């Protein structure tokens, strides 16, 4: 478990800078990778990390932990990381945009946000279609470049553009209609060959499908893609709330259950279709109906009486008024009461009522509620025992002594012990004790806990230094 301890220490927000530097010096590449991602990493430990060959230098640079003056100039991937951090001069961006390696040019377009227009224009006219494909997916692609890319001869470029939901709707509509003009002359099968394919009809179909599935495309023109021969595009279309009613009815009888499941969550389909989908022979469709914000509350209650529903909170429960919540909380069906218990802003009387519920499922749902008192949480653990410990430990107001007791009672129950180990109010001595837990995630949480005493951190690092001096690995 030593590795879990040291990776947890690397993430511990209370780790002093002097110990952070020691850990950077004696840890392994995985520990150093965690350190590199710390928000509070300062220049001194960052420089220490840079001295190690296995350090994640790319991450350090991309997260802005290394000043431009210290970025190595010989490695284009590190220059790309600096571009991600927004610290490179314009001249370097131009060099990367014309780099002889197309992978570098493509990564510049794909990973670096807010590129200047003139740099995007260079990349949009790149001779390699793989580079232009990445430009086509840029979220803030300027409209003039989108229009230019829409005329690109390669299918994969137009497909990428058709999938970009920031592209002007009129341009998407043109791609849906016929794949764009002029017709493409290259596809994945022929773009590396001198001669082209004789027929690009399949490629045009790919472009049209991608545009039809784009939520930004106008509804007119996508009805041709609702048929049973397709599943991906109809599933994407089924999420839209701006469709004409006939679209909904066609999608409701689509042979792919995945499409009907997606439609069942759509709040715009109307009550009649919601009821029809609730009776769908595929059980996943009925469960999806329960997640529809527009589902009648009576139907949610009926579904809860005969099948296990998502843990929630369900959208319809979040929208329930006080009278509806009271009715749910008084139900004879435990899962219905649990639906009410999952509501984060329950009225105080219902919080008290559900906190005393005899059903363990209801107890697990209500236990994290921040309005519960320490006395109520203690009574809940007395009533239900270790099966509710994990839920109780998710309550931000869980008392320190109750956390101590639960940690002692469920040492071998890792699932319950994990949230206990991460609770901010866990006493320092319990945090220390959990470093010896058999579960890796518990050990990691304990090592990362800000209440871990500094003296314990120092002792652990001393052990690590001895291991490093003996040539032993930290893993074990």
The helix/strand/coil state of 146 is: helix
The region that residue 471 occupies, defined by phi over 0 for left and psi between -120 and 50 for alpha, beta otherwise, is left
The answer to whether 350 and 329 are in contact (CB under 8 A) is yes
The answer to whether 2 and 460 are in contact (CB under 8 A) is no
Distance in angstroms (rounded) separating the CA atoms of residues 96 and 11 = 34
Give the alpha-carbon dihedral of 17, 18, 22, 23, to 10 degrees: -30
| Residue 294, in any domain of the structure | no
Confidence check: pLDDT of 465 > 80: no
**pLDDT digit string (tens) for 344-381?**
999 999 999 999 999 999 999 999 999 999 999 999 99
CA nearest 290: which of 249, 338, 233, 240? 338
- What is the band of 260 on the pLDDT scale with cuts at 50, 70, 90? very high
| Residue 123, in any domain of the structure | yes
pLDDT the model gives residue 170: 94
CA nearest 277: which of 253, 243, 309? 253
Which residues are paired to 154 by β-bridges? Answer: 186
Total domain count, the chain: 1
| Residue 293, in any domain of the structure | no
pLDDT the model gives residue 470: 46
| Residue 75, in any domain of the structure | yes
**pLDDT digit string (tens) for 36-75?**
899 888 888 888 888 876 667 888 899 888 889 888 888 9
| Residue 100, in any domain of the structure | yes
Higher local confidence (pLDDT), 395 or 42: 395
| Residue 89, in any domain of the structure | yes
Burial class (CB in 10 A: 0-12, 13-18, 19+), 427: middle
| Residue 113, in any domain of the structure | yes
| pTM attached to this predicted model | 0.84
Which of 66-80, 127-141, 145-159, 416-430 is the least confident region? Answer: 66-80
| Residue 370, in any domain of the structure | no
The domain containing residue 118 runs over which residues?
Answer: 56-127
């Amino acid at each position: 478990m030593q590795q879990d301890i040291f990776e947890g220490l690397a993430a511990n927000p209370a780790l002093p800078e002097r110990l952070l530097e020691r850990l950077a010096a004696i840890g392994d590449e995985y520990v150093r990778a965690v350190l590199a991602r710390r928000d509070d990493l300062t220049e001194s430990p960052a420089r220490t990390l840079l001295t190690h060959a296995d350090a994640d230098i790319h991450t350090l640079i991309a997260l802005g932990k290394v000043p431009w003056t210290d970025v190595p100039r010989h490695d284009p991937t590190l220059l790309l990381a600096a571009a991600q951090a927004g610290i490179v001069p314009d001249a370097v961006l131009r060099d990367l945009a014309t780099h002889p390696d197309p992978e570098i040019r493509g990564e510049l377009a794909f990973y670096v946000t807010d590129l200047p227009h003139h740099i995007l224009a260079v990349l949009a006219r790149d001779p390699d279609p793989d580079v232009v494909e990445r430009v086509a997916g840029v979220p803030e692609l300027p409209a003039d470049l989108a229009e230019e890319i829409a005329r690109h001869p390669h299918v994969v470029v137009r497909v990428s553009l058709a999938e970009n939901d920031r592209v002007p709707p009129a341009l998407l509509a043109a791609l849906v209609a016929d794949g764009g003009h002029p017709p493409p002359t290259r596809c994945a099968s022929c773009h590396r060959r001198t001669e082209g394919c004789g027929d690009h009809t399949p490629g045009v179909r790919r472009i049209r499908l991608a545009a039809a599935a784009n939520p930004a495309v106008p509804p007119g023109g996508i009805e041709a893609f609702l048929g049973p021969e397709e599943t991906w595009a109809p599933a994407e279309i089924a999420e839209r709330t701006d469709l004409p009613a006939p679209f909904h009815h066609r999608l409701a009888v689509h042979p792919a259950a995945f499409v009907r499941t997606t439609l069942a969550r759509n709040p715009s389909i109307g009550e009649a279709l919601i009821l029809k989908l609730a009776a769908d022979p595929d059980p996943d469709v009925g469960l999806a109906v329960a997640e529809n914000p527009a589902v009648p509350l009576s139907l949610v209650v009926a579904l809860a009486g005969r099948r296990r529903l998502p843990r929630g909170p369900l959208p319809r429960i979040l929208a329930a008024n006080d009278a509806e919540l009271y009715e749910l909380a008084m139900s004879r069906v435990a899962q219905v009461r649990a639906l009410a218990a999952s509501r984060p802003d329950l009225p105080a009387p219902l919080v008290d009522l559900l906190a005393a519920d005899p059903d363990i499922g209801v107890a697990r749902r209500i236990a994290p509620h921040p309005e519960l008192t320490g006395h109520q949480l203690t009574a809940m653990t007395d009533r239900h025992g270790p099966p509710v410990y994990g839920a109780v430990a998710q309550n931000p107001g869980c008392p320190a002594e109750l956390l101590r007791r639960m940690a002692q009672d469920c040492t071998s129950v890792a699932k319950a012990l994990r949230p206990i180990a991460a609770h901010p109010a866990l006493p320092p001595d319990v945090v220390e004790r959990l470093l010896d837990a058999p579960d890796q995630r518990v050990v990691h949480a304990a090592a990362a806990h800000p209440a871990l005493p500094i003296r314990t951190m120092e002792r652990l690092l001393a052990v690590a230094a001895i291991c490093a001096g003996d040539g032993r690995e930290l893993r074990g």
